[in-house]
Structure 1
Amino acid sequence: MPPKPPHTRTQRWRRTLLATLLTAAIAAPLSGAARPQIPAPAPATLPSLTATTLHTAYEANRANATRAADMAAAHGDPHRAAADRTLAAPARHLLTFDGRGAGQATEVLGDLAHADHIAVLVPGSDTSLDTYPRFHKAAAALYTDLVHRAPHGTTVAVIAWLGYETPATVSTAVTTTTRADEAAPHLRTFIRSLRTATPPQAHISLLCHSYGTVVCGRAAPGLDVDDIALVGSPGTGADSVAALHANARIWAARGGDDWIRHVPHTSAQLFGTTIGFGADPVSRAFGARVFDAADSDHSGYFTPGSASLANLARITLGETSEVTRA
């Protein structure tokens, strides 16, 4: 029998690997999923988001987070209680807060009402209220860098948008677009409301990490943002920049030490479900503006002093000619 053509062997290898990933996700211990639900109040009722209602939202969400902390403590979960209480601190500015389940929150760093340049961070898998400090750390690092780089008289803001239920890194959900499809309408709604609360000329960038790039890919068509940056992406579910149907400039980067490079950039039908996210966003064929992330690992794109953080700040500030390309 003649040998299989190389492209056939490659397709079979990719399908085998995807099947292995799915099987591992199905067979993984489910102890995390069995964790009892943490009680929390329903989210606060908020006015429509405008520049004049920001402080009302901040106060209402701080109060809601305080109640959530009390309920978590009474439930015997001191870790969640501490996380909620940290977010309820007077210095924290929450546009949204929901302490139920894994939890969701949208936090502002900076003067949003007067910001000339705004970055919205969209996180990847395993981000919840319990792991929120690492997400906040990334947002704070970017904000600090922006303040340092911004020209005199320029106001900046960073928004950490944990507005969806992220999948676990080891799970069936992380191999499909299902969670992203659910999240994308919420992200689109948030961006629309953000435009009503910020100056008309504000430059808005969407900075998306890991599975968050799938969310941004699903939300991208016609989205009213200026730039979308994809870092550590497994794929967006689209085969090219054109297939995203975005009005924004599309950027992409992957660090040299990022394990995501080993994920096959393809998709396959397995057990009636599409597994995988298609084309590699840093490939020439995808068509994004690929920028330098040096040797960043999967968690290192927002590390202070890194090439990736510097370039994400330049993108946020609209300094596109200063972005170092890969």
Structure 2
Amino acid sequence: MTQQLDFSVGMGKETTYGSPSAVTRFFESEAKAKYDVKTIKGSGLRPTKGVARTSRQSISGFEGSTDIELDAPTRGLGFLLNAVMGAVTNTLVSTGLYQQVHTLSTTDPVASYAIQEALPPIGGGASNVHTFRGCVFDSLEISAKEGAYLSVKLSATILKMLTTGATAASYPSDDTLFSFVHGSIQVGGSLTEPGATTLAVGDAIPAVNISDFSLKVARNLDKKGWNLGGAGLRSRPPVLGKPEITGKITAEYTDNVLRDAYLAQTPLVLILTFTSGSNVLQIAMPAIKLKGEVPTSNGGDVITQSIDFEAFDNGTASQPIFIVYRTADTTP
């Protein structure tokens, strides 16, 4: 018997876009996939037939989407990071500890995944399985807020939906979560890029006035591919677009470093590091530019700045963003 809490979300990487593949990883996320059956109606009219007829209404296409949201775990997160970033190296650091360095892929085709959602019916009984094929991830969001666990959200498009292919859910027994109290941030200075077994290093003094951070990596995949012969399904995987790396920080107004960097449009290094035991999640960007704002009064309360930023290629660093993940996982 099941209860309404007994849903599960699992994923597996496909070898061919939309082809059957095993579900190998499960995540503590809600099952929220949406799948649309698009239809068309005929435009012709016939005497005495004022209402649209069933024979003139047909399926015109299928398209789905999903968001996977979860607290950032110390096991399994690399699989999700790779789904969006696309390129990764994986190296043994010490016994039982591996370092993954995730960067933006620059070649097609984009990897695709199967997503399995198991949904329990009301009143108990075996969960009903929805298996989605040809899932391609377009964006990644990471958010750190005071008093909370680090939050991760991924968004994907879906090729097709099946109602078969159940795999029993399984989870690591030794994973923990990264939280705000595990974090530190450096803004400014210079950057030493992460190596295969070394973290990124900056020479700026860690900031103590940042209360909120968010990052979004958007791959901007193309939206076309519904061609003749596809039977209403996308006939090919999406191709890479021009990526955008954006975010926001909220800072208490303790000095004019961020204000002056905004006014002069000075590129800044940003390094955000979360550590939980020997596990690490680090985001390093060699060159971000701030989009505002200048400080203003706050009715007598603490003055804060809500500052959007965008990451750029500075012509020197090998990548515009590195996401480093140290974990007990042997593979991403």
TM-score (normalised: structure 2)? 0.22
Larger Rg: 2
Larger strand fraction of residues: 2
Which structure's relative contact order is higher, taking Cα pairs within 8 Å and 6+ residues apart? 2
Larger helix fraction of residues: 1
